Chain A
Amino acid sequence: MGLSTLLLYTSNLSALWAVWVGRRQRSVLWLYAFCSLFFDVLSYILKRTNIKWRSANLFLLIEFILVSLYFINQIDRKNYRMTLYAIAGAMCMYFIIHTLSGTLYKVNFTDASLLYGMYIFYSLVGLYKVITEIEFVMVERNPLFIISVAFLLYASGNFIIFLFENNVLLMNKGLKALLWLYIHNPLNILKNFMLAYAFILINKGK
């Protein structure tokens, strides 16, 4: 088994640990981890069959809704929360309309990069909360810090890939494969493992 295959399979199944560890919490984040695992496996199966429909658009939308719910709920001020809900709602609508107006057989990566830009913002909000409301002496023991770091790294790495996926990278298939394999997959594994670690910390806190 080559490194690329190992990375691909590990990435597809990396959310399994988080799903197992967080099974008793049944929180928004656990649902996100579950959807990650489900859609990773589903998209792998779909690629190996003749079905042309791609599940990624649906996953991107569900991912955005769940991640938005988690991070926006971390904000204490109601007016900020409401504003962000409105912005997230508008982005969801834009993504749905734009995706439906195109083709369902093509993943809407360009708009997904906007959603990933939003994750970067959410992560920064999470990190801001970590440093303004110090609850843990060791920052590494703070689940919000771990989750924010996981999404910041994951979204930062994927933002550029998604942004150029449908135009520049379509011309350069070699680079595209390379980026998906060596940037997207390791970041996906890292994010899912960090989610699992955050679930462990939340379990310990309870």
Chain B
Amino acid sequence: MSLLIISAIAVMLLLSLGVIFFVMLYQRRIIAHQQELKLINQQKELELIQASIQSEEIERMRIASELHDDVAATLASARLFLYKEKDAGYNEAIINQSKELLDEGIVKIRNISHKLQPAILQHLGLQQALESLTDVINRSGQITASHTSISALPRISDSTELAIYRIAQELLTNMLKHAHPTAITLHTQASQQHIHIVLAHNGTGLTQHTYEEQIYKKGATGLKNIVNRIKSIKASIRFFQDPDGRFKIELTVPV
């Protein structure tokens, strides 16, 4: 009887332990399953973002080539006709004015086309493309923009280069629109695992807190595009103010 009682107690305790281990294992399995689902959802979200960015780029390229090859060509032909008419002795002043307007239109279209489809990025790479962005700002004469680099950026995948270029382009546009700076610095640095891009300016910029507030607000399409592009290349962005009071944006992209 004693043995029976001891065995019964042992069986009860073993059963309890069995139940406890079952609960622990079951919970772990459920959590693992949930994490797997979360990962799949994140992957799907990333794929959707990449697809939307890709389709946007394709559309930009299509518009750029239409402008460059079709509209610009039409305007150039019109200019040629005007030259001819000038030789035939028509009102020279009006013809010259029309020519000037057409020239201006051609330049504008070319600029838009280059912005939509940055040829410099395709041919010379990210480093030169980023430098050209600061050069364009410099040419305005109102803002000093400079580019510094510790090590030359390596050539990486086209989509990543394009995403970085677009992010920098959007950030610079936002700076010019909202921060009203007088000096901008673009610093690039490459390590074996990462590419670092730091944009600094002396205007009124964003901190990490205000950036995170802005991206959840209605509108702010530019910032939301930046967020999507950052997600698509698994990069990270940090907004902060250095001890000198300059606002900085640090973009870190895994290579």
A interface list, Cβ under 8 A from B:
120, 124, 127, 130-131, 134, 137, 139, 145, 149, 152-153, 156-157, 159-161, 164, 168-169, 172, 175, 179, 183
Q: Ordered nearest first, which 9 A-B pairs have the shortest CB separation?
A: A156-B12, A156-B16, A139-B27, A160-B8, A160-B9, A152-B16, A175-B2, A127-B23, A131-B26
Q: Is the CB of A157 within 8 A of B27?
A: no
How many A-B pairs fall under 8 Å by CB? 56
**CA A22 to CA B2, docked complex, whole Å:** 39
Pairwise interchain contact B9-A157, C-beta atoms closer than 8 A? yes
Partner of A161, one of B9, B17, B30, B31: B9
A131 to B27: give the CA distance in the assembly, Å.
6
Inter-chain contacts of A161 with B (CB < 8 A): 5, 9
Q: Which residue of B is nearest A183, CB measured?
A: B9
Inside 8 A of A149's CB, which chain B residues have their CB? 20
Complex: chain A residue closest to B12, CB-CB? A156
Complex Cα distance, B21 from A139, in Å, reads 11
Find out whether the CB atom of A172 lies under 8 angstroms from the CB atom of B23: no
Kindly identify, within residues 8 to 22 of chain B, every residue whose CB is under 8 Å from any CB belonging to chain A.
Answer: 8-9, 12-13, 15-17, 19-20
Q: Is the CB of A127 within 8 A of B19?
A: yes
Which listed residue, A130, A164, A168, A169, touches B23 by the CB 8 Å rule?
A: A130
Let me know if B124 is at the binding interface, CB within 8 A.
Answer: no
Residues of B within 8 A of A168 (CB): 1, 5
Kindly list 6 other residue pairs between chains A and B, CB separation below 8 angstroms, not including A161-B5, A164-B5. A120-B16, A127-B20, A152-B16, A152-B19, A160-B12, A175-B6
Residues of A within 8 A of B23 (CB): 127, 130-131, 139, 145
**Contact assessment for A153 and B5 in the assembled complex, using a CB-CB cutoff below 8 Å:** no
What's the Cα separation between A137 and B28 when bound, in Å?
8
Contact A175 B12 (CB under 8 A): no
Q: Which residue of the partner chain, among B1, B12, B24, contacts A159 with CB atoms under 8 Å? A: B12
- Which of B16, B26, B34 has the most chain A CB within a 10 Å cutoff? B16
Q: Which residue of A lies closest to B31 (CB)?
A: A137
Give 9 CB contacts A-B under 8 Å: A131-B27, A139-B27, A152-B19, A156-B12, A156-B15, A159-B12, A160-B9, A172-B2, A175-B2
B31 neighbours in A (Cβ, 8 Å): 134, 137
